[in-house]
């Protein structure tokens, strides 16, 4: 794996972690269903990022996640965020 790809992917995981942390802290502060749905969406992105971390360091940890499964994770996260945004 090229060093640039490694740095970019780790940077994206860190950015996802920070974003999920901010949204989750906002949910803890407000405790409403709208923020819960938005936090669940960003939580889906966070879990997806954590699942793909081990394959960065060793091919022995490569998980057989096809492109369609990656898109499914993203679709589920975006649906939760959309439902939270439209909730009023």
- Over residues 71-77, the mean pLDDT reads 95
Of the chain, the end-to-end C-alpha distance in Å amounts to 45
Q: How far, in Å, CA of 24 to CA of 38, rounded?
A: 9
- Does residue 35 surpass a pLDDT of 80? yes
DSSP symbols for 52-85: TSHHHH-GGG-----HHHHHHHHHHHHHHHHHHH
Binning pLDDT at 50, 70 and 90, where does residue 30 land? very high
User: Tell me: the pLDDT tens digits for 8-22?
Assistant: 889 999 999 999 999
Q: Would you state the pLDDT for residue 1?
A: 62
The residue-averaged pLDDT of 55-84 equals: 87
- Write down the pTM of the prediction: 0.86
């Amino acid at each position: 794996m090229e060093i640039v790809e490694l740095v970019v992917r780790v940077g994206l995981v860190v950015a996802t972690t920070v974003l999920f942390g901010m949204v989750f802290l906002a949910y803890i502060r407000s405790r409403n269903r709208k923020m819960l749905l938005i936090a669940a969406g960003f939580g889906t992105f966070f879990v997806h990022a954590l699942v793909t971390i081990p394959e960065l360091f060793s091919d022995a940890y490569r998980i057989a996640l096809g492109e369609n499964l990656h898109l499914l994770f993203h679709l589920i996260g975006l649906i939760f965020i959309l439902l939270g945004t439209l909730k009023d």
